[in-house]
Amino acid sequence: MVSPSHFATFAALVFVMVIVPGPSVLFTISRALTVGRRGALLTVVGNAFGVYTQVVAVAFGLGAIVAGSAAVFTVIKFAGAGYLVYLGVQALRHRRKLSDAFHAAVPASPGPAWKVVRDGYVVGFANPKSIVFLAAFLPPFVEAGAGAVPVQIMLLGICLPVIALICDSVWALVAGAARSWFARSPRRLELVGGTGGLVMIGLGAGIALNGRAD
């Protein structure tokens, strides 16, 4: 099975990747600003499940296909980008609901928990950069002679969602606290909703335009 040294080294590599703010961090912050701390934390949970689904896909060969096929990579990339843009547009459309909730003294609701988790899952699973990272960096840490290669990959890969869950939750809490400050003014709160929506749209556009050399 996986040796402790390989596991620790891969975990350190994952931590370095996760700690640098990237698409998942920006998405988490924008969700904290638009739907609040609870919604952002649920999004982080969904994102972690989505990423681990990628780990399973890599374990059974999909990662190698994505890494080697420009067509598959492009389909996944545009699916994720399109979903982010959709969420951003929705945040812009409903930004005034945040200030309405303020007037009614009722916290703005991100909707049913399962839908928020689903949004995070879709974004996490459709992130092409993470699946290519997994496909590139997981295999070197696998001990082929030990057998059960898919199981080894899934054991190693659990580092990514766990570390991302911890780090992204910190971002969600910090951004959620900043949102509370904005909530003291209905106009500030509406601005937060619009800003979060623009961030998601920009993030989706950035992913769509970020090509890959083959």
CA distance 56 to 64: 12
Residue 48: the pLDDT is: 93
Q: pLDDT-derived band of residue 214, with 50, 70 and 90 as boundaries?
A: very low
pLDDT digits (tens, 9 = 90+) for 142-175: 776 666 778 888 898 999 999 999 989 998 898 8
Residue 193 has pLDDT above 50, yes or no: yes
Are 23 and 127 within 8 A, CB to CB? yes
Are 25 and 135 within 8 A, CB to CB? no
pLDDT digits (tens, 9 = 90+) for 116-144: 899 889 888 887 667 767 877 777 777 76
The DSSP code for 107 is P
pLDDT digits (tens, 9 = 90+) for 91-118: 777 666 555 544 443 445 567 888 889 9
| pTM passes above 0.75 | no
The secondary structure of 5-17 as a DSSP string is: HHHHHHHHHHHHH
| 56 phi, psi to nearest 5 deg | -60, -40
**Domain chopping of the chain, boundaries:** 4-13+21-209
